[in-house]
Structure 1
Amino acid sequence: MNDLQQTLDQLRTALGATAVLTGAAISQRHYSDWTGHAPACPAALLLPSSTQQVADALRICNAAGQSVVPQGGMTGLAGGAVPRETDIALSLERLRGIEEIDSAAATVSVWAGTTLQEIQQAALDAGFLFPLDLGARGSCQIGGNIATNAGGNAVIRYGMTRDLVLGLEVVLADGRVLNLLNKMIKNNCGYDLKQCFIGSEGTLGVITRAILKLAPLPGETTTLLCALPDYASAVSLLRRLQRSAGTPQAYELMWQDFFRLGVSWLENPVPPMSDEHPLYVLFESAGPREVLEQTLEAALEAGEVIDAVLASSHTQARALWKIREATGEFPLRMTPLNFDVSLPIGQIGEFAELCRQRLELRWPGNHSVYFGHIGDSNLHLTVDCNSLPQPAPILEIEELVYTAVGELGGSVSAEHGIGLLKREFLHHSVDDQARQAMQQLKDCYDPRGILNPGKILG
């Protein structure tokens, strides 16, 4: 009997035979994430249904030196949950459900396998808002959201996932369970250990439970689409809005190339305003409508805004958002190479032009589009590989973009994590000393290196 078979026998004894799948019994959705990168059937798939079972599984695998890849909803975009054929995948899908909503503390306690949409709905039913929101809300799991420090449209108002987590329960590689659960905003008892696991992509421990902050339900929101003359006006308009009406719920900037593309993919491809402007911003605000109208009038007089459409109904607001949501069509209508980067807000416009110029110089006629949540310093860039020489020079494009990120002091990952796909480019944003400190942290929590090997640090 080989070592793997012995380990699987021990796992079946600890978890039960139905919680240890192999071969054809493993669904292909566990082979790769939404990127489709390097799909592989893992040596086994574990389906624990309690914290104790997670602890038992990791204790057994750690003793055997068996690598384990934690998996959530498999909606990641950096290859962070992709297994190798020699890895055991550990899915959190059976650790699912809302444990408690504490209205006084404005918190919700959840299992890691609970989908984001379930948490949003439970909060809404209790009269609260859980403000994390992603396009994958119906599939992504909160454990994965926390492990990748997920972002989304509402970060400008409510912060990243890190800002919404009050407490965690985490199982370490050797099976020890850390009870870091907490409902208090103020809790200053030494090292805040939970922060080590938020954004760690399952390389330091496996998150099994979480206590999350809830927010009051916002009042009626107003949706506006504005055409802008330049990038500086996008920043000026944002600061004007924050002074007069408060920070918006969302502030989405679209360069002309993205706006035209989004309109062309609508069922009725008629732009809500001229498509000849350099930039467009779509934003939502819960500020009083009359204040927003006054703010918009002042922005028009100052030349920050060229044209504007203020949605008069929910239907019209949804129609405007359909343009921004064209990203959901990318995999169907192009062969997208997606970039998720972060830069100082004042330099995002410069970065977009720098990338555009360098891409055009290297591959004349290439098709790329630019858009993002610039209020929280996040820019997305997508290059259609169909517009490039074949086979598409993926690594060359990545090096071009990430080199520009490094030159302007930015981050190669704003909200998607590092995983496998950005590991080789981490040096553009994290220097040698910091990477060594990260490796020391990894060695401390996972000395045998069994947790998600090859991710982030290699």
Structure 2
Amino acid sequence: MAYPPIVIALIEALGADVVSLRETIAGRRWADWSGEPADIPLALLRPRSTAQLSEAMSICTLYCQPVVVQGGLTGLAGGACTRASDVAISLERMTRICEVDPVSATLTAEAGATLESVQNAAAEAGLTFPFDLGARGSCTIGGNLATNAGGNRVIKYGMARDQVLGLEAVLANGDVIDSTHKMVKNNTGYDLRNLMIGSEGTLGIITRVVLRLRPPASAVATAWCGVGTYESVTGLLSLALRRLPTGVSAFEVMWPSFVDYMTTHVPDIRNPLDERHNFHVLMESVGTTEPEHQEVFQCFLEEALEEGLIENAALAQSKGDAAEFWRIRDSTAEFPVLMPDLIAFDVSFSIADIGRAAQECDAALRNTWPTSTVLTYGHLGDGNLHLIVQVPGADAATVDAVENLVYGIVRDYRGSVSAEHGIGSKKRDVLGHTRSVAELAAMRAIKAALDPHNILNPDKVLPA
């Protein structure tokens, strides 16, 4: 069988141990969770070191060969999907936890390490890596940073980029950027670290990271609140931030459509409050001393009740109670089974606008498609709104119409078409709803400077 010159060159330089041919990789999955199309690539590279990856990229540049980096394939924007003409790169062999430094409170890991392995290594050292996602067992830390992932606790700890002190990355031409320092303060010119984070593999390939660790929380208080108005929801958040000394670690808001659907369709979960409310808020706050923190949290809830910000609340009395509350919010993992043809949105607005924007989206969708199912929920503490839409019998034209409607409202409110899942191929045509012409031009200039042959994840992120 005749192989393309690029494949032959890669095998000669790196060996068959690193380079897998197309006919040997047909059984692998090549698409993420986005539903975007994917094909078996020309070859799969699985380097064991940054040096091997650097050599591979030098060769790919010489042949102007497009490459796509894949992590745990848990993305939702199509950023890791491959074409038949691509060479795929997996860092599944670069999974080492290189160092845990308890004095600096840092952890250094290779980019192929799973999020869960990072969390476990931090815990073994008596610290915690608070960044968390439901896909923790399979998503990789490199993928988390490449997409600047969010998660449930952004309100307290920030996005993925906020967990990083330094990183190492391989550029398109094989050059290696090594800024794996442990300093919080490093004000020395352009921040290449943050340029790589969130670039979805279009500017460079992250290979090693230095992560910030935190002291572990010894006390966790969790409550499920029923709230009457959106103004009361934002009032509850403001009160929590003022009254709780350690702030809020999660503030999840669910509209009745979401809670009713999940408690009806998912076995063994129930609404912690018997009565129906216009909004349901799952709150979490972490502290250092268990009895005192629980007392402060309970006093805060009593004050919120007295001020009329909440109508009722259930306070978790145990870790089991808290897990049951979170099961409702985390039941979104059932969507692929419950709604295999769903249309999902991950958008953001200013916190002040979310109530109106969500109501406008819901009304417009139900008026246009009366038989549709529309579920609304989100990490409201950081402005992130999720909409799940199902239109019975929807064809491609209907899907486009639904997306145009929702993204049009996002543009009207000057929101973001992607809050935490990136752009990939799925949202590149609507990136202009959020970014100005000047911003897009600057992005293209950066891409052209770092990847002049457009070989790093081409046709992703930037509009055509």
| TM-score normalised over the length of structure 2 | 0.96
CA gap 1:321/1:207 in 2 versus in 1, 3 angstroms: same
The residue aligned with 1:437 is 442
SS of 2:409's partner is: helix
Give how far 1:269 is off: 4.8
Give how far 1:64 is off: 0.4
Aligned to 2:405: 400
Cα distance change on mapping 1:103 and 1:269 into 2, 3 Å = closer
Is the deviation greater in 269-278 or in 328-337?
A: 269-278
SS in 1 for 2:17: helix
Gaps of 5+ in 1: none
Distance 2:373 2:28 in 1: 30
Task: Give the counterpart letter for 1:321 in structure 2.
Answer: W
Question: What one-letter code is carried by the residue in structure 1 that aligns with 2:311?
Answer: I
Q: Which residue of 1 aligns with 2:118?
A: 119
Contact 1:14 1:53 in 2 (8 A): no
Structure 1 stretch displaced more, 292-301 or 47-56: 292-301
- Structure 2 counterpart of 1:112, one-letter code: A
Task: Determine whether 1:23 maps to 2:25.
Answer: no
| Deviation readout 1:161-205 (Å, 9 max, x if unpaired) | 110111110101000011111100011111111111000000001
1:340 aligns with 2:339: no
Distance 2:235 2:347 in 1: 21
Structure 1 residue 215 corresponds to structure 2 residue 220: no
Aligned to 1:86: 85
Query: In structure 2, what residue type is equivalent to 1:360?
Result: R
Partner of residue 10, structure 1:
9
- What's 2:254 paired with? 254
TM-score (norm 1): 0.97
Q: Superposed, which structure 2 residues align to 1:59-138 within 5 Å?
A: 59-138=58-137
Amino acid at match of 1:194: R
Distance in structure 1 (CA, Å) of the matches to 2:56 and 2:111: 16
Q: 2:39 is paired with a residue of what secondary structure?
A: coil
Report the Cα distance in structure 2 between the residues aligned to 1:268 and 1:193, rounded to whole angstroms.
Answer: 48
Secondary structure of the 1:290 match is helix
Aligned-pair CA distance for 1:26 = 1.3
Instruction: Tell me, in whole angstroms, the C-alpha distance in 1 between the residues paired with 2:446 and 2:268.
Output: 53
Q: 2:290 is matched with which residue?
A: none
Contact 1:262 1:325 in 2 (8 A): no
Identity among equivalent pairs (%): 46
Is 1:428 the equivalent of 2:427? no
Structure 1 residues 143, 384: closer, same or farther in 2, change over 3 A?
Answer: same
Is residue 2:273 matched to residue 1:273?
Answer: yes
The AA in structure 1 aligned to 2:232 is S
Unaligned runs of 5+ in 2: 288-292
Match for 2:302 among 277, 297, 304? 297
One-letter code aligned to 1:382: I
Partner of 2:141 in structure 1? 142
Asked if residue 359 in structure 1 is aligned to residue 365 in structure 2, the reply is: yes
Matched-pair contact (CA < 8 Å) for 1:340–1:415: yes
Aligned partner letter, 1:93: E
What is the aligned length? 456
Shift of 1:24: 3.3
Cα offset for 1:219? 2.2
**1:370 maps to 2:376:** yes
Q: CA offset at residue 260 of structure 1? A: 1.1
Contact 2:45 2:90 in 1 (8 A): yes
Contact 1:221–1:284 (CA under 8 A) maintained in structure 2: yes
Q: Which moved more, 1:317-326 or 1:205-214?
A: 317-326
Q: Deviations over 1:360-394 (max 9, x none)?
A: 12111210101110101111111124x35446711
Which range moves more in the overlay, 436-445 or 307-316? Answer: 307-316
Q: CA deviation at 1:22?
A: 2.1
2:158 is matched with 159
Q: Find the aligned partners of 2:130 and 2:393 in 1 and give their Cα distance.
A: 38
Check 1:76–1:258 CA distance in 2 against 1; reply closer, same or farther (3 A cut).
Answer: same
